[in-house]
Amino acid sequence: MGGLKSGLFGECVGKSWNGVTAFGCPFRFVCRSWCPGLKALSLPSNSMLLKSSILMELTEKLKHLESLSLGNSRNIAEILSQISLHCKNFRRLELHDCLIGEEEASSIIKLVPHFQYLVLRCSRIRRGNSITLLQVCKELVYLDASDCRGFEEDDDDILKLSSHIAYFSCEGSQLYDSEDNHGRLISDGESSDDD
């Protein structure tokens, strides 16, 4: 892990991949020799690694992956399908500023129903999809749905369904997007800026 301790990325890539357990890609970089022991991966919305074929290939190699943070929900069904097949210790999913429509919510429920940590900060997710996630994902111990659009932070049904979760936050969530000057309700069919 000498490369990580020195803070020099090139040294880390060149000498220490076998000891890396967490890696964030803040830039467009594809590495063909991924560390098989990688446990956490964070990819921003503009990452080249989010291309379906590249991420599928990497996920097959990342058998120890426990946590994935994505900057968009593009190809989420394919990504989670690979994770469910290859990453048996997967516990944490973070989708920041994403559109979580019916298809995305169904993929989460169907493909990784036993994960414990879910972060949906600043995402767009309708009330019905939020309720469905809460009803099915019974093993959640941490859910951060702060500043989301599509449901109210004081929704009685959502608060009741989340009462068993050790850490739950939906502070700042609202039905309408305050930045949307037209006051539209966020719809499941609305495409995100990332897509």
Place of tokens 């996630």: 133
Confidence (pLDDT) at 66: 93
- φ and ψ at 148, to 5 degrees? -85, 165
Please enumerate in sequence order all residues whose Cβ is within 8 A of that of 96, keeping only pairs 6 or more positions apart, or say none.
69, 70, 71, 119, 120, 121, 122, 123
Confidence (pLDDT) at 166: 97
Whether 179 maps to a domain, the answer reads no
Which ranges constitute the DSSP H helices of the chain?
2-6, 9-15, 52-61, 76-86, 102-111, 127-136, 156-161
Confidence (pLDDT) at 73: 76
Confidence (pLDDT) at 8: 31
d(CA 101, CA 105): 6
Whether 79 maps to a domain, the answer reads yes
Whether 161 maps to a domain, the answer reads yes
Confidence (pLDDT) at 113: 79
Whether 107 maps to a domain, the answer reads yes
Confidence (pLDDT) at 121: 94
Decide if 52 contacts 78 (C-beta within 8 A): yes
Confidence (pLDDT) at 19: 55
Range of the domain at 32: 22-169
Give pLDDT tens digits along the chain (195 positions): 333 332 333 334 444 445 555 555 433 343 445 566 788 888 776 654 555 566 667 777 788 889 988 887 777 888 888 889 888 899 999 998 889 999 999 999 998 878 999 999 999 999 999 999 999 999 999 999 999 999 999 999 999 999 999 999 999 999 975 554 444 444 444 444 443
Decide if 69 contacts 96 (C-beta within 8 A): yes
Whether 193 maps to a domain, the answer reads no
Which CATH number fits the domain that encloses residue 156?
3.80.10.10
Domains of the chain: total = 1
